């Protein structure tokens, strides 16, 4: 089996889910890359936990960096016209109160029921919850963007999460380097495979049995 | 009324051992680094430090000045060597580290300053965070009871302030500074510039002076949590 999509192409596929007029939060890690692939002709407003609506891309040119203007991953960003700021309690009200259309988070594990584990590795007593518990329960749609397996090749999509949970039954869509999967009451529905990857190959590195969509297709990138 | 003090040592004078210290900033933005350094130099011990990122609380833990930290991140998001040190301190009992969902942390702080004793939130239901907390169902959804978190001292960072303690923040630096200013017995603001009373636009004050006790001017410190690439 080939390795499937690069991190950037996973981000590109996630970006295709974002539509004009949406308010979207991009989490730490791979989800952050999504901001590089937003369609230029649409108003998609990116929310950042510290109290920012309407940032643009991550700035690579150090001469433009301003430490007063970063995203929630601590990276320097710019603003789009129409951006605004608020305090952090209000910002989490936007999240918890159900005002975000989409939240994109990374994950250590996702279960077939949409449980999410993404804040603590099992062997540690410390961990990084950050805003993940609010982002997981608050957005209207939670998309997980992650590698399909661990570095050791173990499935990250599992029957039941063995790591401490971030939230129960919240993940709606999983996008990985191999597949696009919807979490439904009937189970995990495989809707798209990465170019050169078969449904059987995706199943071989996925814990629960996948329901193959009747219109299974190759991802358009 | 003049809340302006002449130097950083004066700004943190009188902070007692065992205080609960709230520290502002988020991801390296709007962090009162000068006040952090000043409080470390001041010498108070046995502190409980409340912040979002380890960049604010770790110096207190590392120097044996904090017995407890309450934070969204009890690990370090990008520096595993710091996570390893903290992990060892917690396992050996030298540090208590309470990981709190960040929205819950800010709401507990806001509640503390606004006279609200407790509130129900859906964040953390079904996770280790719910341990020991009352769970209650409203409209078919489960919520956890979370209590207000009061600070003895808040260290905050602003851009400009006047002698009444009105503070203006720049760009995304208001973040947690605006939330916590109301929640401490002693709120200390470090700002880049002190301006005459009457020169701030009343419609654009981020932190009303009633919440602020001391103001000190200090040069802005720039530290990046991460570089542009990740």
- Mean per-residue pLDDT pooled into runs of 10, chain A (221 residues): 95 97 94 93 96 94 94 92 97 98 98 97 89 97 98 97 97 98 98 98 98 97 90
In this structure, of A25-39, B132-146, B179-193, the range with the lowest mean pLDDT score is A25-39
Q: How far is A126 from chain B (nearest CA, A)?
A: 5
Confidence grade of residue B225 (pLDDT, cut at 50, 70, 90)? confident
* Active-site annotation holds for A49: yes
* Contact residues, chain A, for B178 at CB < 8 Å: 87-88
Q: What is the pLDDT of residues A70-79, one digit of tens each?
A: 998 889 999 9
pTM score of the predicted model:
0.96
Contact B129 A59 (CB under 8 A): no
The pLDDT value recorded for residue A97 is 98
> Distance between CA A171 and CA A53 in Å, rounded?
23
Query: How far is B166 from chain A, CA to nearest CA, in Å?
Result: 16
Residue range B13-30: average pLDDT? 97
Average pLDDT of span B170-191: 98
Q: Confidence class of residue B156 from pLDDT cuts 50, 70 and 90?
A: very high
Catalytic residue among A8, A49, A201, A218: A49
Would the pLDDT of B226 be above 80? no
So what's the ipTM on this one? 0.95
Query: Does residue B172 carry a pLDDT above 80?
Result: yes
Contact across the interface for A126 and B74, Cβ inside 8 Å:
yes
DSSP per residue over B104-168, as a string? HHHHHHHHHHHT--EEEESTTTTSGGGTTS-EEEETTEEEEEEE---EEEEEEEEEEE-TT--EE
Cα–Cα distances in Å, from B222 out to A17, A105, B16, B29, B54?
36, 28, 28, 8, 16
Residue B230 banded pLDDT, cuts 50, 70, 90: very low
The residue in chain A having the minimum alpha-carbon distance to the alpha carbon of residue B31 is A68
Number of A/B CB contacts below 8 angstroms equals 175
Provide, as residue numbers in chain A, all residues whose Cβ is less than 8 Å from the Cβ of B75: 120, 124, 126-128
Gap between the Cα atoms of A74 and B34, Å rounded: 20
With beta carbons less than 8 A apart as the criterion, state whether A132 and B52 touch. no
pLDDT reported for residue A118:
95
Best mutation target among B175, B177, B222, B227 (most A Cβ atoms within 10 Å) is B175
């Amino acid at each position: 089996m080939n390795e499937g999509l690069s991190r950037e192409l996973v981000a590109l596929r996630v970006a295709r889910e974002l539509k004009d007029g949406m308010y979207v939060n991009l989490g730490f890690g791979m989800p952050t890359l999504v901001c590089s692939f937003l369609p230029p002709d649409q108003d998609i407003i990116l929310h950042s936990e510290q109290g920012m609506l309407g940032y643009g891309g991550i700035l690579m040119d150090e001469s433009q960096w301003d430490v007063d203007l970063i995203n929630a991953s601590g990276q320097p960003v710019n603003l789009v016209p129409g951006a605004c700021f608020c305090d952090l309690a209000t910002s989490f009200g936007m999240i918890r109160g159900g005002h975000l259309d989409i939240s994109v988070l990374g994950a250590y594990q996702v279960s077939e029921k949409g449980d999410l584990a993404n804040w603590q590795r099992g062997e540690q007593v410390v961990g990084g919850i950050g805003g993940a518990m609010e982002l997981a329960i608050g957005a209207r749609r939670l998309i997980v963007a992650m590698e399909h397996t661990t570095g050791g090749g173990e499935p990250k999509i599992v029957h039941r999460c063995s790591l401490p949970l971030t939230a129960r039954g919240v993940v709606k869509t999983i996008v990985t380097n191999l597949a696009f999967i919807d979490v439904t009451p009937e189970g995990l529905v495989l809707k798209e495979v990465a170019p050169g990857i078969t449904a059987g190959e995706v199943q071989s590195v996925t814990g629960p049995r996948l329901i193959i969509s009747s219109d299974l297709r190759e991802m358009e990138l | 009324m003049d809340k302006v003090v002449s130097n950083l040592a004066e700004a943190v004078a009188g902070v007692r051992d065992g205080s609960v210290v709230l520290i502002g900033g988020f991801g390296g933005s709007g962090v009162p680094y000068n006040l952090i350094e000043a409080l470390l130099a001041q010498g108070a011990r046995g502190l409980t430090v409340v912040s979002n990122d380890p960049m604010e609380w770790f110096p207190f833990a590392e120097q044996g000045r904090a017995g407890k930290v309450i934070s969204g991140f009890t690990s370090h998001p990008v520096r595993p060597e710091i996570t390893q040190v903290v992990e060892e301190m917690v396992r050996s009992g030298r540090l208590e580290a309470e990981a709190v969902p960040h929205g819950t942390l800010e709401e507990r702080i806001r509640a503390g300053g606004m006279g609200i004793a407790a509130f129900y939130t859906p964040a953390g239901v079904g996770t280790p965070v719910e341990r020991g907390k009352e769970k209650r169902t409203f409209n078919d959804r489960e919520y956890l009871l979370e209590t207000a978190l009061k600070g003895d001292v808040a260290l905050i960072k602003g851009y400009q302030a006047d002698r009444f303690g009105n503070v203006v923040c720049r760009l995304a630096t208001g973040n947690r500074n605006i939330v916590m200013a109301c929640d401490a017995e002693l709120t200390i603001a470090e700002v880049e510039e002190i301006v005459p009373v009457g020169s701030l636009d009343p419609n654009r004050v981020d932190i009303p002076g009633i919440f602020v006790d001391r103001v000190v001017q200090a040069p802005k410190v720039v530290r990046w949590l991460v570089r542009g690439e990740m």
